[in-house]
Amino acid sequence: MQKLTLTILAAALGIGSLVTSTVDQQLSRTITVDSLGACQGISYQKGRIFLYGDREVGMIREFKMENDSLVYQHKEIKLTMNGNDVINHPTGIAYNGTGPTFIGNSIRLNAEGTKWKAVIYCVDWKGLLKTGTLDGNLLNTIDDDACIQGTRPEYVKYNNKWYIATADYGDHGNEVRLYDPEKLAKTSNSKAEGVLYKKFTCTPWVQNLHWIAKNGMLVLIQNKIEGRQWRFTYIDLKKSVETGKQVMVNQIDHIDRGDELEGFSFIGDNENGIAVTSSRKNNVNFTKTTW
């Protein structure tokens, strides 16, 4: 019944088809991690876990799993330059260990939230971790003017080539776009010739993206309504790019949380993951995924 309902919904919204899968995701336990401000996301890098948020300035803190505990490594990066807050609302870290590293920033321009400015920063990631600020480590600033609302960069691989995927947050016209990382790193805006490679439409309220290399899936980390409730949409990236519409593998809607889901990443395998929210309490959540 759930798969039939999702198929009908996908057809009604014009967002592509549903691919049958047994993927499921459950919330296993929840903890509170302080000093993040409103946590905006998580980046997992070969055992290193980076949580980022918008405290008094945009910042990143490093953690490590020790047995079942998430342990702070006493490493904090402030996304400032000359003491000024630059990346005040980090919304994605695109890192793959070989290509340029990008950090997104979605800037609200009015109180109503109807006007946004999206910026992607190309950074020296090793230098940033070493010095703890953007001073000397900000390589380029790119206006993401190809976006509709906000930016959330994540590396994905399509046809054996790396791209930067990003998505919109709003309630209309939403799409996932794939940018050429080398061209993006050198341009001043994402509408520049050759930067945008492909794009496809997707459902609303995408807060972040997570790439699963093993099976070519992209997870849309979403809210069900604006700023509230949890949704994980697993999509087939290749089929989505080729059809121009998201091709959904499964959608996880049953986790009963009313707060604002912001980010998610698997941590070392495709079973154990961490989902983060902007809440002051219970903001770091461990999940189990079955396939």
Contact criterion met (CB below 8 Å) for 228 and 204 = no
- Which of 120, 124, 106 is closest to 195 using CA atoms? 120
**pTM summary value:** 0.93
Give me the pLDDT at residue 139, please: 98
Give me the pLDDT at residue 171, please: 86
Cα dihedral: 23, 255, 90, 220 (round 10): 30
Q: Which residues contact residue 77 at a Cβ distance below 8 angstroms, ignoring those fewer than 6 apart?
A: 59, 60, 61, 128, 129, 132, 133
Q: What are phi and psi of 80, to 5 degrees?
A: -120, 160
pLDDT mean by block of 10 residues, the chain; 291 residues: 48 58 93 97 98 97 97 98 97 97 88 80 98 98 93 97 95 94 98 98 97 97 97 98 98 97 97 98 98 95
Give me the pLDDT at residue 115, please: 73
C-beta atoms surrounding 291 within 10 Å: 12
C-alpha angle with apex 149: 122 to 111, nearest 5 degrees?
Answer: 110
DSSP labels, 224-281: SBTTBS-EEEEEEHHHHHHHTB--EEEEE------S-EEEEEE-SSSSEEEEEES-SS
Residue 269 CA to residue 21 CA, distance in Å, equals 18
Strands 101-108, 231-236: pairing is unpaired
Give me the pLDDT at residue 5, please: 47
Give me the pLDDT at residue 113, please: 64
pLDDT digits (tens, 9 = 90+) for 253-270: 999 999 999 999 999 999
Burial track 29-63 (b if 16+ CB lie within 10 A, e otherwise): eeeebeebbbbbbbbbbeeebbbbbbbebbbbbbb
Residue 47 CA to residue 41 CA, distance in Å, equals 16
| 2-290 CATH, one of 3.30.750, 2.60.40, 2.115.10, 4.10.280 | 2.115.10
